[in-house]
Amino acid sequence: MIKKIFIPLLLVVSVISFCGCKKVKDKIVESLLMKLITDNAWIVANFNEDGNNITSDFGDYSFEFYDNGRVFAIKNGVQEYIGTWSPNESSKTITSNFPNATEPINKFNGVWYITNTGLNPNYVEAKLTTDDGEVLRLRLNSK
């Protein structure tokens, strides 16, 4: 897995070093973010809603993101909801929407600001502030 990510990462660093074009850099970073997210199934490792830990509400779920903009919420191995998602490197956000979802999956609807990412293990941490001012914090780990 490390080889799979290291070689493209090395290529990216090389291209960025030799090219000062911001658009090229943004496109490369967006491509890497897309690859990181779409190459893994994800589980909720931590979910806080206004300081309350509600991680257990997602215990039976995993999520699969696809490069065609679809995301599936899978409960106990069965696809329960289909949603959409899109990354935006310049604003460091991921927008997700599960239009017909109920609690707790509807909590994923919105624009998530990516606060941290990591490799080995793969994880993404993000924060969303709702229209009501409620702060949601999320950590997804690769499954």
Instruction: Determine the pLDDT at residue 11.
Output: 46
Scanning the structure block, which residue is given the tokens 């600001």? 113
- pTM equals 0.76
CA 15/CA 88 separation, integer angstroms: 20
pLDDT digits (tens, 9 = 90+) for 97-110: 999 999 999 999 99
Average of pLDDT values for 76-96? Answer: 92
**Residue 13 confidence (pLDDT) above 60:** no
pLDDT band with cut points at 50, 70 and 90 for residue 10: very low
